[in-house]
Chains A and B, each alone.
Chain A
């Protein structure tokens, strides 16, 4: 048995009166991928920020590296101790070259003049070792997200880090890029690095992790060894109870003679979407799967009137439907939940009440312009109760809520317009497992009430779990459909087949 490279114990962190971490421990061995799991707010990020020097732990924490106590007070001392962290939002300057980024803050220079040539030469071996397709002189802004991650990894290796923390690295990657990343992680593991891998995706953890440590409510719950790892075991540790079933699908769309609510025919947007046709029936949940960049969100936004349509026609309840703005769609009862709730969904500084009421303010107002505050309050309280939003009150700013509760507030905005068609773009991204299962229940209940729902998701198990049938896109084109009346089984393999082009597209 090798000796651990890192031992953390008795780590606590208090913010004001709130204990974010309480006596947490974590042990890492060289050459292992150690998954760190827990719901949002369980303390994963806080623990990693303590390790990377962004937060100072409370007194009494013990951090040993190679058996020797180290004092991590800031990011610099953490780096010096051999720890590197790769955040979800990559910390690179897009306007600089790869080499400049790798040397950021510790540029090689002689008498203040930066030695560009030497820096370029120095980073080459690391880039070659990682099999990078770019050189040190490439401008980072021109690289894909996956390659930027590679730059971050290269930077960590270049700084001789032995502990690498990756915070949800695959969120923005396509499946192919994810595979590349996994290969890279395995290579680093075989080279003896200790990797802390934070992810919400069970299948990734199952595939990659040698051990899993679970946090819940700021406390350490336990560690599973490779042979003990199973989704059930992890979920049990994370939520502290058995989850009977993550997915809910009790609705039964009656498609016998029902006419579709929304018919989309040959819609293109001139760039990312080409001649897409899709039909949604009342009470039906249709999944829209595909790799990242396949044009799923773009198709949804073209339907919603947020992106211009260059070709195609649409019908809502048989009548022509041609929205030129989100407002027009909303007025017709078509809603779109964005995949980026913080970026273009919520008003983070505003209250839950305002966020819930955004789309119905005018409808509720007196004389078309004076706010109806009583009604707004009623709606907000109703939404908080119906969707089980955990929030102190409707006045509370939505920016202070956890991801799952933020998502419920955003969802409530669209439920208030009583939509007939609801397009959900990655409705459970960055949402903890408890809130996930609640969102699935909400989707199911909406379908039972007759709403036609289109769910875009990159998590295959999710679309398979909740959708009646799944439409698959690849490079802007709808390449296939599985489940429902298609006769093709809704399995991950079949979906990936259509999504990657491994299977020849079948005629509709």
Chain B
């Protein structure tokens, strides 16, 4: 054991200095070449229809909600946990938000309500995990079902519509950068802001370092004076908050919410994006930029497969295989990093 890591250390020492930094960058951007190759591939196969301003905007829009959910999922997975309930929380938050938006005097508060409901469910997850020390998989599997039920209850199991929902620009508007040439969908801007904010929290704040610490070695984190239960509460709260934000994005796009269908299986795409982005399932290793790349790969796959006319059924098969391939990559990365 010792000999193994010692030798690996010695081997690394030779390549040290700038080498370590380069490794980190490679880890974060490991999937970027894949993204670029896949995009170029689709562009060629589709006869030049992929890299058009309109299509790129569609890809960004499609990626945006998953990017936000995956950002929250990154926080959770970095602590070695998992949040299976993000799709259900998104549905519940959207229902609560839409119901509020139909109340004349409160309609403008609907965004806050959605964020609040999302955060609330997230904190309940975190409290069960931190307080009762239950496995995250079990807790969030339970809330996946229970919160879905609550979402249906809220609207009396119907679809709620609101064609004058306030802040509708989030879902459909674009921000014009260069008039007539470049306009970016607000959905994409929101997603990018979430990524930047997440990056700041993870890499530039004490909280971020503590999140990596808890994921890397929980016992050591406790002995070092880090309040571990608080970290769990916060990461699941963040995941809930971002689910609530996802609810805002989806509802403004659809002008409607439905407790049964909204957000179905979103957790799987979010987890896939995080894993594609190189964040380790064991916790402690990963980056938010990787998650962005992962979410974009999934969106490009969905978009590109439609562009080149692959049937809906085969899209499932291909996306599934990509996820397995990503976990295989994660496995090799673990092996490569000389962790014993």
Could you list which residues of chain A lie within 8 angstroms of chain B, going by C-beta atoms?
Answer: 15-18, 20, 40-41, 43-46, 48-49, 87-89, 306, 325-327, 329-331, 336, 338, 342-350, 354, 358-359, 361-362, 365, 368-371, 373, 392-393, 395-397, 399-403, 413, 430
Contacts and interface: CB of A to CB of B under 8 A. Distances in A.
B45 to A, nearest CB: 39
A40 B6 CA distance: 8
A361 B7 contact: no
B284 A347 contact: yes
Contacts of A49: 3-4
A15 B285 contact: no
A41 B8 CA distance: 10
Nearest to A43: B3
Given A41-B6, A347-B284, A349-B216, A326 B224 contact: yes
A43 B10 CA distance: 12
A413 B20 CA distance: 22
Interface string B191-204: 00000000000001
Please tell me the size bucket of the interface on B.
35 or more
Contacts of B339: 348-349, 399
Contacts of A368: 206
B21 A369 contact: no
Contacts of A342: 340
A361 B217 contact: no
19 contacts: A16-B14, A18-B7, A18-B11, A20-B3, A41-B6, A45-B4, A87-B1, A89-B1, A343-B219, A345-B220, A347-B217, A350-B212, A350-B216, A350-B284, A354-B209, A371-B206, A392-B13, A396-B12, A413-B224
B272 to A, nearest CB: 23
Contact of A347 (B11, B21, B213): B213
B204 A371 contact: yes
A20 B337 CA distance: 18
A15 B220 contact: no
Contacts of A344: 217, 219-220, 222-223
B217 A348 contact: yes
A44 B3 CA distance: 7
Nearest to B285: A349
Interface string B211-234: 011001101111111110000000
Contacts of B2: 40-41, 45, 402-403, 430
A369 B207 contact: yes
A220 to B, nearest CB: 15
B217 A325 contact: no
Name the 7 nearest CB pairs between A and B, nearest first. A45-B3, A344-B219, A392-B16, A327-B225, A41-B6, A400-B9, A347-B216
B16 A346 contact: no
Contacts of A346: 217, 220
Contact of A350 (B9, B13, B213, B219): B213
A400 B5 contact: yes
A426 B12 CA distance: 28
B17 interface: yes
Contacts of A348: 216-217, 339
Given A306-B223, A325-B227, A347-B213, A362 B206 contact: yes
Given A330-B225, A358-B213, A401 B219 contact: no
B25 interface: no
Interface of B: 1-14, 16-17, 20-21, 204-210, 212-213, 216-217, 219-227, 284-285, 337-340
A392 B18 CA distance: 10
A15 B8 contact: yes
A88 to B, nearest CB: 7
A306 B224 CA distance: 10
Contacts of B224: 326, 330, 358-359, 413
A369 B8 CA distance: 35
Contacts of B223: 306, 326, 336, 338, 344-345
A326 B222 contact: yes
A346 B221 CA distance: 9
B14 A18 contact: yes
A408 to B, nearest CB: 14
A365 B6 contact: no
B73 to A, nearest CB: 19
B11 A15 contact: yes
Given A347-B213, A401-B9, A395 B20 contact: yes
Contacts of A370: 204-206
Contact of B20 (A45, A396, A402): A396
A325 B222 CA distance: 9
A235 to B, nearest CB: 20
Contacts of B8: 15, 400
Given A20-B7, A343-B217, 7 more contacts: A20-B3, A41-B9, A344-B220, A344-B222, A358-B209, A393-B20, A402-B6
A54 to B, nearest CB: 9
B9 A365 contact: no
B225 A325 contact: yes
A371 B7 contact: no
A15 B11 CA distance: 7
Contacts of B12: 396, 400
A399 B338 contact: yes
Nearest to A372: B206
A404 B239 CA distance: 40
A399 B285 CA distance: 13
A342 B16 CA distance: 22
Nearest to B224: A358
A44 B2 CA distance: 9
Contacts of A430: 2
Nearest to B280: A349
A387 B125 CA distance: 43
A359 B220 contact: no
Contacts of A327: 225-227
Given A16-B11, A349-B337, A369-B206, A397 B3 contact: no
A503 to B, nearest CB: 34
Contacts of A349: 216, 284-285, 337, 339
B11 A393 contact: no
